Structure 1
Amino acid sequence: MTSSDASTSAGPRLLGPAEVRSLAAALGVRPTKQRGQNFVIDPNTVRRIVRTAELADDGETVLEVGPGLGSLTLALLAAGHRVTAVEIDHVLATALPDTIATYAPDQAAAFTVVEADAMTVTADQIGDPTACVANLPYNVAVPVLLHLLAVSPSLRHGLVMVQSEVADRLAAGPGSRTYGVPSAKAAWYAEVRRAGPVGRNVFWPAPNVDSGLVAFERREPPVTEASREEVFAVIEGAFSQRRKTLRSALARWMPDRAQLDEVFRITGIDPGLRGEMLGIAEFAALAGAAHSVSAT
C-alpha cells in the first residue's frame, strides 16, 4: 500500500518518503549522526515491526524511544496501541503532537510525548508501559535498552531496531564469539533473540551499516544475594580481559587471591574458564559467593 492509498483508507495515514521529507523540510530538520538519527521512510517496514512485536490484540501501552518524525508511532497507533514516545530533540518533540493530530486525529488522545534523554529518563516520566517498540539511536542503543529495563519493571516485552552487529551481541549466548558484556547484562533482565534483518534503503538517510530487529521477553533474574550492580561488576571484570581466564580477569574485581579462590570453590565454577563461557546464572553465583565471602 502506498501513502496515497493509506490516505483513502480508514485509520491513521502512515508516512512515506515524500511525507517524511516534507515534514523534515517544514521543520528545518536534517538527521544528525550525533544523535544516531535515521528516519524510516517505508510504511511496510513499520507495519512489519509492529506485527513482529507481537503486541496484545486488545492494545498495550507502548514505550517508543527516538520517534523522530513519527513513522513508527503512527503504525503503533494504527494497530490500536497507546504510545508514550521519548524524544530528546526539542524540535521533533514539539512537532510530534501536531503530526499525530494531522495523520491520526482519532488516535491523538492515545499519544504522549516526553521530551527527555532516554539514557536518564525516569519511571515517573514514562509511567507504566507494558512493551517497548523502537528504532533506537544506534550510537547509544545498548545503554538505552539496559536503562529502560532497569527503570521500568512494567516492561514485559519488546522489539527494538539496532545496528546488526549490536543485535548479534545482544542476542548471543555463552560460547559465541559475539557474546560479551551487552549479552550478559541483557540476559539479567530478559530472554533476547534476533527477530530479522532490516534493509538500508528503508531509511533516510540510508545508513552505512546493516540493521536488525531484536525481541526480548522479560524474565526474573537469577536468585542471588548480590545486587544487580554487584553482578554487573563481575560481568565487566570477566570481559575486561577477554582472552584471559576467570582467575586472571577477575583479579582486579577481587584482589584478595584467597577470597577469589574461595568464591570459585563455593560456586564450583572452573577458574580456568574464560568469561565468554559463563551464563548469567554463573555470573550471579560468583557475585553472590563474593557477597558472602566479603561479609565474613
Structure 2
Amino acid sequence: MHLLGPAEIRGLAAELDVRPTKKLGQNFVHDPNTVRRIVELAGVGPADSVLEVGPGLGSLTLGLLLSGATVSAVEIDPVLARRLPETVAQYAPDAASRLTVLTRDALRLAADELPAPPGVLVANLPYNVAVPVVLHLLAELPSLTRALVMVQTEVADRMAAGPGSRIYGVPSVKIAWYGRARKVAPVPRAVFWPVPNVDSALVSFERAAEPVSSVDRETVFAVVDAAFAQRRKTMRGALASWAGSADRAGAVLRAAGIDPGIRGEQLTVQDFARIAQHAPSV
C-alpha cells in the first residue's frame, strides 16, 4: 500500500481542478510520516470501525486502511467524495472493500446513515467547525469511545483546558461532559498543502460516563452557555436571565453548593451538572 506524498497530492488536486478553499478549511496533509504518526497515536487496527471526517484527497484515509481498520469517510465536497474510492482502489486495492464514503455535512450526520456504529473518530478538522463537529458526533454516536482529531492549536488548547485556565470555556466544559480531552502533539505547518497560516495540534479524547445521570445534557449545556456569555460576571449575575432573576440564580447556586460569587471558569462540569439539577421550574 502506498501513502500519498506531495507529488500525488498536487497531481490529484490538478486532476480534479481542486483549489483548496478557506471556506471549507481545506489544508491537505501531504507527509506520509505525519499520517503514520496520527494512525499510531489513534491506536487503530483491524478490529476498529473508524469514522473519518473530511478525508479530502485521501492521505489519512489510506493510512487508516493500512492499519486494517474499516473506515467510514464523511466528505462534504462532492468532487472529493466521488474521487476517494478511486484513489483507494488505485493505491490500496486490497483495502477498497473496507471503505464507505458518504457525501455529507458532518454537522448533520445521523447514526443511521453509517453502515456500522463507529468506535473511533479520526479527523483533520477545519478550525471554524472543529468543536461543533466533535460535540455533534459525540452526542449522535454513543458508540464513539475515543477520538484523535487534528485542529488549530488554539482550538486544541480550548478543548483540553481545565477549570481555572484563562482559556477554559464552553468547548472545554461541553467536551468534558462526554469524557477527557488531551492535547498530545503539535503538527508542523509544512506537512500541509497549502501551508496554513495557523499552527495545528492533535487532541485525543476518551469517553467516560456522563457526570450526572439524573439531569439531561441540554439543561447542563444551557447553564454552561449562560455562565460564559459574560465572563466577567459572577455566576449569580451570569445566570440571572437563565434563572429568572439574580436572586433566584443565587438561590439555585446555594442549593447546588456553589458560591454565588464564583465565576464560571472556576467550575467543573460536575459543578455545572449540580446547578442544572437545581434548575428553577418554569
Work out whether residues 50 and 76 of structure 1, in 8 Å CA contact, stay in contact via their aligned partners in 2.
yes
3-state secondary structure, aligned to 1:139: coil
Between the aligned residues of both structures, percent identity stands at 61
Q: Which moved more, 1:135-144 or 1:110-119?
A: 135-144
Alignment partners' CA distance in 2, 1:210 and 1:161: 10
Partner of 1:74: 62
Alignment partners' CA distance in 1, 2:146 and 2:95: 23
Partner of 1:166: 155
Task: Give TM-score, length-normalised by structure 1.
Answer: 0.93
Q: Kindly report which structure 2 residues correspond to 1:125-274, keeping only aligned pairs within 5 A, or say none.
A: 125-126=113-114, 127-274=116-263
* Per-residue CA distance 1:65-106 (angstroms, 9 max, x = gap): 000000000000001111000000000000001001000000
Q: Which runs of 5+ in 2 are unaligned?
A: none
Q: Which amino acid aligns with 2:242?
A: W
Q: Which runs of 5+ in 1 are unaligned?
A: 1-11
Alignment partners' CA distance in 2, 1:285 and 1:114: 39
Q: 2:72 aligns with which of 84, 91, 99?
A: 84
3-state secondary structure, aligned to 2:174: helix
Partner of 2:38: 49
Work out whether residues 240 and 247 of structure 2, in 8 Å CA contact, stay in contact via their aligned partners in 1.
no
- The alignment covers a number of residue pairs equal to 281
Q: Kindly report which structure 2 residues correspond to 1:272-287, keeping only aligned pairs within 5 A, or say none.
A: 272-287=261-276
Work out whether residues 224 and 285 of structure 1, in 8 Å CA contact, stay in contact via their aligned partners in 2.
no
Alignment partners' CA distance in 2, 1:195 and 1:84: 24
Alignment partners' CA distance in 1, 2:26 and 2:46: 31
Give the superposition deviation at 1:243. Answer: 1.2
1:99 maps to 2:78: no
Alignment partners' CA distance in 1, 2:73 and 2:213: 34
Cα distance, 1:224–1:61 mapped onto 2, change above 3 Å: closer
Task: Give TM-score, length-normalised by structure 2.
Answer: 0.97
Alignment partners' CA distance in 1, 2:27 and 2:204: 20
Alignment partners' CA distance in 2, 1:213 and 1:226: 31
Work out whether residues 38 and 206 of structure 1, in 8 Å CA contact, stay in contact via their aligned partners in 2.
yes
Work out whether residues 230 and 287 of structure 1, in 8 Å CA contact, stay in contact via their aligned partners in 2.
yes
Alignment partners' CA distance in 2, 1:223 and 1:184: 14
Give the superposition deviation at 1:224. Answer: 4.5
Q: Which amino acid aligns with 2:267?
A: L
Q: Which moved more, 1:144-153 or 1:254-263?
A: 254-263
Q: Which amino acid aligns with 1:65?
A: V
Q: Which amino acid aligns with 1:75?
A: G
* Per-residue CA distance 1:130-169 (angstroms, 9 max, x = gap): 0001101222111011001010000000100000000000
